């Protein structure tokens, strides 16, 4: 584990806590996650500031949001093989918590905080920054970063003076730890209804909006 994250812990208990989910009891990683979230934001913000010397605050903010969101952090956690090393309570183990994006992203942030607590900010940045370098290098130009599907759909419609879409929750199901939301996106001009299904209503709306955009581009 230490080799994979390129940091050798002087205080192994910090790493153990960072990899302990609250379902397994105390000491767990929630406080470390809180600190790690701030550290990740700072490290990524600093890297973007250097990467885009001419970008404005809005572009930098959108790019940072893209890089530190749950769906971006979870793959890093998988690369570091955090999942199999997590300490989970029986319920989370049974439901596959070691594979869940939210738990993996939280654990990654907790590991970042553990490195910081173990060795300070410079050591933390040295270990953590390489995890994000490829994603930063792959970012599109600043003016194209961070506009989600709902925003792009709204801009497409407004640019053509057409009514805005209406999003409605069509169905909701699943266990509390694995909810599924089905949402519809309805347009009147042109008449179009698309669907999105995801683990949150917001994510389902984004999927439905993306589907609408794809169909509109085919018609445009």
Residues marked as catalytic: 37, 109
Annotated domain spans of the chain: 12-140, 149-219
Residues 103-139 pLDDT 10s: 999 999 999 999 999 999 999 999 999 999 999 998 8
- Please give the Cα distance from 64 to 25 (Å, whole number): 32
pLDDT of residue 3: 63
Please give the CATH topology (third level) of the domain spanning 12-140.
Ribonuclease iii, N-terminal Endonuclease Domain; Chain A (1.10.1520)
- Whole-number Cα distances in Å, 137 to 45, 53, 162, 180: 14, 14, 36, 34
106 marked as binding residue: yes
33 marked as binding residue: yes
Q: CATH: 1.10.3720.10, 3.30.160.20, 3.30.559.10, 3.40.50.300. Which one for 149-219?
A: 3.30.160.20
Residue 10's contacts (CB-CB under 8 Å, 6 or more residues apart) are: 118, 119
φ, ψ of residue 7 in degrees (nearest 5) = -140, 125
What is the pTM assigned to this prediction?
Answer: 0.68
Residues 148-188 pLDDT 10s: 789 889 988 998 999 999 999 988 887 766 678 999 999 99
122 marked as binding residue: no
């Amino acid at each position: 584990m230490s080799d994979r994250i390129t940091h050798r812990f002087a205080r192994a208990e910090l790493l153990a806590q960072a990899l302990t989910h609250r379902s397994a009891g105390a000491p767990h990683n929630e406080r470390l996650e809180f600190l790690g979230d701030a550290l990740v934001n700072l490290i990524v913000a600093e890297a973007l500031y250097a990467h885009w010397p001419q970008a404005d605050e809005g572009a930098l903010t959108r790019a940072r949001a893209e890089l530190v969101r749950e769906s971006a952090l979870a793959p890093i956690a998988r690369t570091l093989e955090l999942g199999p090393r997590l300490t989970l309570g029986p319920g989370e183990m049974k439901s596959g918590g070691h594979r869940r994006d939210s738990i993996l992203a939280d654990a990654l942030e907790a590991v970042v905080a553990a490195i910081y607590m173990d060795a300070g900010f410079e050591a933390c940045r040295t270990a953590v920054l390489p995890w994000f370098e490829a994603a930063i290098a792959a970012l599109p130009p600043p003016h194209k970063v961070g506009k989600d599907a709902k925003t792009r759909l709204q801009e497409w419609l407004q640019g053509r003076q057409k009514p805005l879409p209406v999003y409605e929750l069509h169905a909701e199901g699943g266990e509390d730890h694995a909810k599924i939301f089905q949402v519809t996106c309805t347009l009147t001009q042109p008449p179009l209804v698309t669907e999105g299904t995801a683990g949150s209503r917001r994510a389902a709306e984004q999927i439905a909006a993306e589907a609408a955009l794809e169909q509109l581009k085919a018609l445009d």
